[in-house]
Amino acid sequence: MTTLARERPETMSEAPAESLNGPDLDDVLWQAWKAMELPDGYRAEIIEGAIEVSPTGRFTHAQIVNRLRDALAIFLKDSEHGAWNDTNLIHSRKAWIPDGFVAPRDSELIEDEEGLGIKASAVAVVVEVVSPCKRNQDRDRLKKRREYARAGIPVYVLVDDYDGQGAVTLFTGPRPEKADWEDIHRVPYGTDVTIAEGPAKGFVIGEAITGPKRG
């Protein structure tokens, strides 16, 4: 699994396309998702034709998420964009809850039509911090990688404690029709990676956020 962040798999072009889900199924999933009532500590997302329910992250996961959010908030303090988390991103009757993202502060620019969250088209950067277990890792490394590309989000940052001794992968240049990315840049923990475009241009992800190499 760890090679997925290093290079584009040859099978990426065979990823499930949105067209495989007819409008009837999309509508059923959308209505079911809106009606769900989950116990505290759980969240539901619509990812590649299925509703996925998952628990909130562990302490180490929360540490990275909080450090990232705090650093982004400081970096963007004089910007019209802000650091967001813990809310739904909505795109074509899909719903995702990323660990963090950058979007405008103005609600008129970002609120989706039904008021259920923020429309993905307003998002400049989206971030996921990988959780333990294969199911969670597949979701962030594969499924959400494809979904964020389909939505045309300009930058996807994947912080992965379970890729070797830890790695950060920066995906840029989304290709929605291919559910893939033009540029994929992976660095191990301990090496800085810098966002090179958009409102977060110049923001550095390094040890201050990820911590040192694992192991």
Residue 145 above 70 pLDDT? yes
Q: What confidence tier does 111 reach under pLDDT thresholds 50, 70, 90? A: very high
**Domains in the chain, number:** 1
Across the beta sheet with 42-46, what order do the strands follow? Answer: 51-55, 42-46, 94-96, 89-91, 118-119
Residue with more model confidence, 209 or 20: 209
3 state DSSP class of 43: strand
Mean per-residue pLDDT for 165-194? 97
- Cα torsion 76, 199, 128, 179 to 10°: value is 170
What is the Cα–Cα distance from 36 to 7, expressed in whole angstroms? 37
In a domain, 99, yes or no: yes
Quick check: 174 and 149 in contact, CB under 8 A? yes
Q: In the structure encoding, which two tokens stand for residue 175, read together?
A: 């290709």
Residue 21 above 70 pLDDT? no
Task: Give the per-residue pLDDT at 215.
Answer: 72
Residue 105 above 60 pLDDT? yes
In a domain, 151, yes or no: yes
CATH number at residue 135: 3.90.1570.10
In a domain, 195, yes or no: yes
Residues 6+ apart with CB under 8 A from 21: 29, 49
Domain extent for 121: 2-210
In a domain, 122, yes or no: yes
In a domain, 136, yes or no: yes
In a domain, 33, yes or no: yes
In a domain, 215, yes or no: no
